[in-house]
Amino acid sequence: MAKFELKLPKMGESVAEATITNWLKEVGDTIEADEAVLEIATDKVDSEVPSEVDGKLIEKLFQADDVVQVGQTIAIIETSENGISEDSAKEEEPSGAMVSEVEETFTAAKQTVEAGTEDFSDSTRFYSPLVKNIAKKEGISLEELENLSGSGKEGRVTKNDILDYVENRSSQPSQASQSEGAAKGQKIDTTKLEPAVKKQQAPVVVSGEDEIIEMSRMGKMIAHHMVESAQTSAHVQSFIEVDVTNIWNWRTKHKNTFEHREGEKLTFTPIFMEAVAKAIKDFPMINISLDGDRIIKRKNINLGMAAALPDGNLIVPVIKNADRLNLVGLAKAVNDLANRARQNKLKPDDIQGGTYTVTNVGTFGSIMGTPIINQPQVAILALGAIRKVPAVIETPEGDFIGIRYKMFLSHSYDHRVVNGALGGQFVQRVAQYLEAFDKNREV
């Protein structure tokens, strides 16, 4: 018998760790090659880790909620084949150094799980299990964590953030000592006082007939992300109505031929994405991010498209270099990302690197919306429902009333760096590209 080390696979260049959310197999269970062993989560994407071999799970080195680094061994699987892990020339049993390393890893994981009883579940802010463990060990309250500024992605508190806080905290006099000093007339350095505790929300009254539903992990993260964005950016909106009659008629004419030839559905989304990418090339200062006092002008045009997950939450997969794709390429990219989002099969890299986001609020009939900016971007476009409406049509022979297909575009932008002229001109340019769509275009 041989032992195979199941490692946390690489999930993209920007992903270095993941949190174990659930073990699908228990010690002693038989596992087939490519069968899922556990579920993991990064910032937004949940995925499964499959086994590379047939065998039996004999040891789990981490538990649920533990954070694991990419490439780290997470379980041992006993196989009937000779060889161990990636090197078939090694002995069946792991070396003494390997056993020691595994034991140390397991001990650290066990300590992470057992340390403390408080789980900080009342917070809508995301904290990694490692940060929670340090907070429990050091006696840091939820109020202190909530007031701690994070240097990680989307303001997340990192290991270094909380360790720095612990170090500075231990070198400062306690609030009790400060109070005693003040009572004795001693001068107190107010610059070292702990941050004020946030005002507690009024308790929500629940009756016996009400149903209490626990927010999902992703739901909490989305809620925090939205509140953080609203508190970070000065949101301003511009709206414009667009006549998309030519686009409607052109798609109706070509959608069946397109699907038969390409094996893909032709939706309106890739047409809108094409117009947005063109407009960004005309107004590149909408394709930026703000880092403190620095403006980062993005070279690539990576369009995020809000897509629905099976549980009703939204996720924003990204079409990389959208301006370099033709309409067929955009259609394939849109359909692929939307399908994998519905099947929970998106990879971490699929949602990274977006520079501008488009969301379709018209899916459920909304004619317009005021979307919240997807940080660290500075703008987002909402597509309203396409409606048949009476409209004044201007011709050389005079004006008349006719039936046209129209929709509203809602543009939210960060007024700290995008003024009204740029925000309005950009969405106007998108509308111009849509209205100028060539109805004789070949696909």
Most confident of 3-7, 286-290, 311-315: 286-290
The residue type of 215 is M
Rounded to a whole number of angstroms, the CA Rg of the chain reads: 27
Q: What is the DSSP letter of 233?
A: S
pTM for the full model?
0.63
Spatial CA neighbour of 261 closest among 332, 334, 322? 332
Say what the pLDDT of residue 30 is: 92
Q: Which band of pLDDT confidence, cut at 50, 70 and 90, is reported for residue 194? A: very low
Between 108 and 201, the higher pLDDT residue: 201
Say what the pLDDT of residue 13 is: 55
Say what the pLDDT of residue 329 is: 96
| Secondary-structure class of domain 235-435 per CATH | alpha beta
Q: Output the CA angle 130-376-432, nearest 5 degrees.
A: 150
Delimit the CATH 2.40.50.100 region(s) of the chain: 2-114
Q: How many other CB atoms are found less than 10 A from the CB of residue 243? A: 18
Residue 44 has pLDDT above 80, yes or no: no
Delimit the CATH 3.30.559.10 region(s) of the chain: 235-435
Mean pLDDT of the chain, nearest integer: 82
Question: Which segment of 6-15, 273-282, 325-334 scores lowest on mean pLDDT?
Answer: 6-15
| Secondary-structure class of domain 2-114 per CATH | mainly beta
